[in-house]
Amino acid sequence: AQRVTQPEKLLSVFKGAPVELKCNYSYSGSPELFWYVQYSRQRLQLLLRHISRESIKGFTADLNKGETSFHLKKPFAQEEDSAMYYCALKGQGAQKLVFGQGTRLTINP
Amino acid sequence: GAGVSQSPSNKVTEKGKDVELRCDPISGHTALYWYRQSLGQGLEFLIYFQGNSAPDKSGLPSDRFSAERTGGSVSTLTIQRTQQEDSAVYLCASSRTGSGGNTIYFGEGSWLTVV
């Protein structure tokens, strides 16, 4: 079965501090992993995907198959990073995304 | 249109009534998804359409829920005999195809409240 776990429902950090949003997954094959973000009053949008190995808005995420994790990191948080973040998995050959429960990130000034 | 369009944006209905939610995907996108977003429940997959293939209905929570996609474009999600636990934001999404590597774009959602 495919499962995505985001252990923190709420995360609050100060501006300029490092941020790490945790994501662990359960899947027996080679998954595709994604992070989606939903800013206040905006639609859910793709932030980054592991196959791209890119940094978006200063965020990076590395797929660790040994630990089955895909944590999202940013070295210096900004106030505009406050949003709801969802980790998602797509199994091999699958079409649908399986989402975690989400983490609400608040950046304090 | 520029993005996935959903209507209505907000719907309040009485328990026991039927509701229809509409989704207009991005033009040219063959894959269409419905998800439900509830407080504390994250995003729950409901149903997936890909071209002319049979839809993946594995996420529909009960037989009160159904969806169709006409002409490979617009989709309607129907909830019959609504219950209070159906209250949620219903999100539609589309992608160019259903295969990996294609970004899934979401609509703004239809907020359903059952009273």
Over the stretch A62-106, which tens digit does the pLDDT of each residue have? 899 899 999 999 999 999 999 999 999 998 878 889 999 999 999
Please indicate whether residue B38 or residue A1 has the higher confidence score (pLDDT). Answer: B38
What are the DSSP E strand ranges found in B25-63?
A: 31-38, 42-50
Tokens describing residue A94: 């699958």
Measuring CA to CA, how many Å separate A82 from each of A10, A49, B38, B99?
A: 11, 20, 20, 31
**Contact (Cβ atoms closer than 8 angstroms) between residue A69 and residue A60:** no
The pLDDT of residue B97 is 78
**Tens of pLDDT along B3-20?**
999 999 999 999 999 999
- Chain A residues whose CB is inside 8 A of the B57 CB are none
CA of B24, closest CA in chain A: separation in Å?
15
Interchain contact, B59 vs A86, CB within 8 Å: no
**Minimal Cβ distance to A99: which of B42, B99, B101:** B42
End-to-end CA distance of chain B: 33
Closest chain A residue to B106, measured at CA: A44
The alpha carbon dihedral of A94, B69, B43, B85 has a sign of negative
Q: Is the pLDDT of residue A109 over 70?
A: yes
CA gyration radius, chain A: 13
Whether residue B31 and residue A95 make contact (CB cut-off 8 A), yes or no, is yes
State how far the Cα of B113 lies from the Cα of B41, in Å rounded to an integer.
16
Please state whether A93 falls in left (phi above 0), alpha (psi between -120 and 50) or beta.
Answer: left
Which among B33, B43, B101 has CB closest to A86?
A: B43
Q: What is the pLDDT of residue A93?
A: 79
Which residue among A86, A90, A96 sits closest to B42, beta carbon to beta carbon?
A86
Cα–Cα distances in Å, from A100 out to A27, A55, A69?
13, 21, 12
Torsion sign over Cα A64, A65, A68, A70: positive
Per DSSP, the residues of B73-87 read S-EEEEE-S--GGG-
DSSP code of A69?
A: B
Residues on chain A touching B99 (C-beta within 8 angstroms): 95
What is the DSSP-derived secondary structure letter of residue B23?
E
Which of A8, A10, A34, A43 is the best substitution to test chain B (most B C-beta atoms within 10 A)?
A: A43
- Chain B contacts of A32, Cβ < 8 Å? 100
The pLDDT tens digits for A12-51 are 999 999 999 999 999 988 889 999 999 998 999 999 998 8
